[in-house]
Structure 1
Amino acid sequence: MGAPAEQAKQPVNAALAGPYGHPFHPMLVTVPIGAWVCSLVFDIASYVVGSPGFLTQGSTWLIGIGVVGALAAAIVGFLDLTAIPTGSRAFRTGLVHMTLNLVVTAAFVGNFLWRQADHDQPAPVAPGPLLLSVLSLAALAVSGYLGGKLAYRYGVRVANEAVQAEGFRP
């Protein structure tokens, strides 16, 4: 394995981005993904129940929690990106991954603000914010695919094979 690939496996700052073999970014992304998926579940459920106000309010809260989580994930993700040699396929993939995530986060910020006008209404979520959530999650899925490519294909912030082999020794 060459020096550029090894460079992308090492943390730029272990205290902020996580130590070697234990990056924080994959752990932190579970917060916005989980919150935003659950917000969509609440949105859809708001069309099924008799008194949907609590679901629309809960969905708005989940979107806000997801935005805060996304900002934390973005900070450590950016640190991981700076470890990847510029000009490489991995770096370009990382830039697209980051850009998509920032667009998705901005869309959810807009979605959160859009919902504020109807926050106290005992009605299902409006179709516009619901559609924005669906489109945002679709873009997030594409970005997640790229994040998986960074980790599992290019090995960004993944321990090298010699370290991985330790887990398979008796």
Structure 2
Amino acid sequence: MAHCAGINREIGDQTFRRVHVDGTRAVLEAARRAGVRRVVLLSFLRARPDTRSGYHQTKWEAEELVRAAGLEYTVLKSGMIYGPGDHMVDHVARAVRTFPVFATVGFRERRARPLPIADAIDVLVAALEGRMPNQTVALMGAEELELGAAVRRIAEVAGGHPLYVPARRSGASASSRR
């Protein structure tokens, strides 16, 4: 059984706790009742305990529920997964078409290893087939990119030619940028 449900922002009664923790508990109970022996959980790469992020904390708690359930499991800790219909891809493509100017504040500091959805599905299927029993596996793409480079690549695929404007962070001094 694959459990890939999750939210990245809370809206009304759709809270991180309710979706990630209570939802996982309900999935595990349903799996037991149905005689399911293997559960694959899609989590997040930076999920961890004792953090101020409700998202990271509840994803970690869901992982711990799966690990302690007494079923065969695989926890897939994904970073950035992208593909057709993806929120980030759609958002950047729409932005490029409507207002093709991007300020690149902070893009250089953050890096990502985006994973194509087809590759993520291949790993999910392998886990469902039992090829990674009782493991926690990081899902990341082969290529590490600065987020600005990822945005530029999406823009190119979307057929846009955005203008990138380097912008300083407010309060940054010349000496702190060296």
What's the TM-score once normalised by structure 2's chain length? 0.30
Kindly indicate whether structure 1 or structure 2 has the higher relative contact order, using CA contacts under 8 Å at least 6 residues apart: 1
Please, what TM-score do these two structures have when normalized by structure 1?
Answer: 0.31
Choose between structure 1 and 2: higher strand proportion. Answer: 2
